[in-house]
Amino acid sequence: MSTRIFDAHLDLAMNALLGRDITKPAREQPADRGQIATVGLPDLRAGGVTHVCGTIFCAPDSPTFPGYHNPEEAHAEALKQINYYHDLAAREQIALPADYSLAHTNDPSRPSVVILLEGAECIRTPDDVAPFHDRGVRVVGLSWQKTRYAGGTGTPGPITDLGRDLVRVLDQHKLIHDASHLAEESFWNLLDITQGPIIASHSNCRAIVGVDPFERHLSDEMIRAIIHRGGIIGINFFDKFLLPAAEYQKRRATLGDVVAHIRHVCDLAGNADHVGIGTDMDGGLGREEIPQEIETSADLPQLRAALLAASFSEGDVQKILFLNWFHTFSRTA
C-alpha cells in the first residue's frame, strides 16, 4: 500500500540559490559544501512526498558561512527565496497553495509547498508581515539563532518587546508559529503571549538525545505543551539530533532511531495525532548524516515499513507520515 508523505522542513530555496539544481534527482547534483545531496524534486515525486514545508532560511554572517549583516540584507535574501518558489510554481514544478486549504493541491507530479520562514530577522518591521503573507508565507519561527525578536538555538534569552509586537501581528494574519529554534525561555514566552497555533517543524526529543546545551531539543514538558495546544512535532533526520549523545559519531543513525523519537511523542500524547516528520535532510548536512537506510527523499517510504514493524497500526502510520500535517494546515484558516 502506498502512503503519501508530508515533509515539514526542507531548505529547497536556500540550496537552489547556493547552486544546486533541485529540479534534478539528488544523485545528479554534485556534492557541494562537502555534502552529498539528498533532495531533488524528482526524489520527492518518487517517494510519494506530495507536500512539504519549503523554508526561507537567511543565515547570519559567520566565519564559516557568508550571510546577512542586518535586517535589510536578510529581507533582500528572503525575497530572493520567495521569488524562487514562485518561479518553480510558474514552471509547474511545484504548487503553491493560495491559502491553508490543501485539498486542491494533490497532484503528485507537483509537490505542494507551504512556505515556512525559519528565523524572522528578515521581517524588518511588522509592516513586512502582510506582504510576506500575500506571497505565501504561512509559518514563522521567530529565531534560528538569537534575533531582535527572540532567543534561539545556542543563544538563550526571552522574547523581546519587539518580538511580542511581532507575535501579535503574526496572529492577526493567522500565521502558524514554529518553535523549533526558540530558546527555551522564548518558547514558554510564546505560549504565554499567543493562543495561535504552534508547531515544531523539525525538532527531536531531549529525553532521548540527552545532553542539550544549545536548547535545540524539546523537553517532555515542552512536547506536552505543544500537544496541549493541538500542535505537531516533526522529527528531524539529522543523526546528531536522533542519537543519544553518548552514541553520536560512534554509529550511524537508523530509521529505528526515528521511530524511537516518534514513539516517545506518541507515548506522551497517548496517541499518534501529534507527530510527523520534518526531515531537514538538506539543511546544511549530507547523505552521511541521515539514517543509513535513506539515500534520498525517494527512500522515505521505508519509514512506513519501519513503523509497521514497530507495531504501529496502518491508520497511525498514515497520520504520522501525512495526515497530521495535512489536517493541521488544512484547518488553520
pLDDT in tens, 51-83: 999 999 998 988 888 899 999 999 999 999 999
Domain that holds residue 19: 5-331
Mean pLDDT score of the chain: 94
What CATH number corresponds to the domain at position 134?
A: 3.20.20.140
Q: Distance of CA 145 to CAs 46, 156, 239, 299, 324, Å? A: 34, 9, 20, 31, 28
* pLDDT single digits (tens) 200-255: 999 999 999 998 999 999 999 999 999 999 999 999 999 999 999 999 999 999 99
Q: What is the mean pLDDT of residues 282-288?
A: 90
State the alpha helices, DSSP H only, in 99-254: 129-134, 161-172, 184-193, 206-209, 220-228, 239-242
Task: Give CA–CA dist 272/166, Å, rounded.
Answer: 32
Q: What is the mean pLDDT of residues 130-139?
A: 96
Q: Quote the pLDDT of residue 62.
A: 87
Of 14, 166, 146, nearest to 82 (Cα)?
Answer: 14
In the predicted structure, residue 196 carries a pLDDT above the cut 50: yes
Q: What is the mean pLDDT of residues 280-292?
A: 93
Q: Quote the pLDDT of residue 104.
A: 47
Per the structure, the count of domains in the chain is: 1
